[in-house]
Chain A
Amino acid sequence: MRVPNNLLYTEDHEWILVDGDEVTIGITEYAQGELGDIVMVETQDVGLVFEKGDSLGTIEAVKATADVYAPVSGEILEVNPALDDDPQVINNDPFETGWIYRVKISAPAELDDLMSPDDYDEQIAD
């Protein structure tokens, strides 16, 4: 199971790519595998200001539904436009073209609470 080294992670199986005060958010390869074929992604709108822990939408797989929780506080800058037509892009390429949100973060210190690749790797190995 891939756990790229350049990302941070949450216990809810999201990944965060940090680029200054902007981050990109998606779900991990492990998460998409657990969910199975994704058939719909319901996202929030660009401009939404949210707090860490808020629901940022839902991922609907054939047999399961998963909430996307905000791993940090911030504002939505962009929603992956590919998700509407091809939600399975998350299954096929979770760490790259299957990203979900680009976000401007409002509390950079929250990044310190995220998991390292090693810690996340250990979590999914359990």
Chain B
Amino acid sequence: MSAKATALLPVHEEAGAKLVDFAGYRMPLQYKGILHEHRAVRESAGVFDVSHMGEFRVRGAEARTFLNRVTVNNTRKLAIGQVQYSAMMTPEGGIVDDLLVYCEAEDEFLLVVNASNRDKDMAWLRRHAPEGITIEDESDATSLLAVQGPKAWPLVCSLCDEGGLEELPYYWFRHGHLRGIPALISRTGYTGERGFELYVRNEHAVALWKLLFEEGRTVDIQPVGLGARDTLRLEMKFALYGNDIDMETSTIEANLGWITRHKKPVDFLGKEVVRKHLAEGPPRLLIGFELLDKGIARQGATCHRGAEEIGRVTSGAMSPSLGKAIGMAYLRSDLAEEGSDFEVEIRGKRLRARVVPTPFYEPELPAR
């Protein structure tokens, strides 16, 4: 099966991007280099084509109630124009996907899901939707550009025809126009930096990309690929589905307790396991670690204390901002405390590691 193209693929090819197949799409891994792109986002501005993400529109008078049952966060608290980070869980307590929930109207919500889970998520939602709920997959018609970095935020604000975008708070969105291009403008992102995610119809994607680079040349705006997207999110300890969370991990184990509203008066899917993990303590916890010895711990490396295997690395890289090897791992929860030391096995060698506070990196202009 050949990979699908986003509306921007010709632009990436022309820019000389190194392309990879990711979640069924031909996507840019990097343009000038991951370190260069990472730095651009931390210090100035970067643009990501993340059009592979899935967009589902959920409509119906009971849409809010339905979503309160299939997601762990509390959709009752979600105002029109607000965004919520959330997750769908199985009754067995695994994570079907993590997602953003946009409240468009009392009876209309937009869900943004991982590309790799699109089919699974749609099947899951349809299976649990009561009558009167419609779910439409708008992914193939929608492009998504993330514009992130301290100088990205004022840039996008300056392009907005409606004005007042500076006032839009973190995790809120509005519909507007960027120099005439209609977009859903969302104060969200996956980098820790201040910025926006811009949803447009495919036919506007190239025009928006060109507008951003034309107007962003004074701040040396850079195209950023999936490679730097991964190192940027890792420095913030943002979970990546398939690496750090999956069908076997609960939100409590994944340290996503803050989005898991276990007290909401709804029998949401996964509630029993959530309550059990909260009452008894989860068997393992997703922690952030730093290597004390020279090396880089990659996904799959085993964690040890003495003769005992106590966990597994789920993500790992050299942090471009910190110059240290960092990572995320599930550790037995009684050994997961900040400051505790363990060892990671890399190519037969044991390297010392320490559980550290996260996020690993604090942006100068925080997203919030």
Contacts and interface: CB of A to CB of B under 8 A. Distances in A.
Contacts of B320: 39, 62
Given A62-B318, A63-B29, A37 B34 contact: yes
Most chain B Cβ neighbours within 10 Å, of A37, A40, A42: A37
B296 interface: yes
A70 to B, nearest CB: 16
B30 interface: yes
Interface string B299-325: 000000000000000000110100001
Given A36-B33, A40-B296, A63 B230 contact: yes
Interface in A36-95: 36-37, 39-40, 42, 58, 60, 62-63, 65, 88, 91
Given A36-B227, A39-B318, A40-B318, A62 B35 contact: yes
B200 to A, nearest CB: 29
Interface residues of A, number: 12
Contacts of B317: 62-63
A37 B35 CA distance: 7
B35 A65 contact: no
A30 to B, nearest CB: 13
Given A58-B347, A62-B317, A62-B318, A36 B30 contact: yes
Contacts, number: 41
B240 to A, nearest CB: 13
Given A36-B34, A37-B33, A39-B318, A62 B231 contact: yes
A39 B33 CA distance: 12
Contacts of A36: 18, 29-30, 33-34, 227
B182 interface: no
A63 B295 contact: no
A63 B226 CA distance: 10
Most chain A Cβ neighbours within 10 Å, of B296, B317, B325, B347: B296
Interface of A: 36-37, 39-40, 42, 58, 60, 62-63, 65, 88, 91
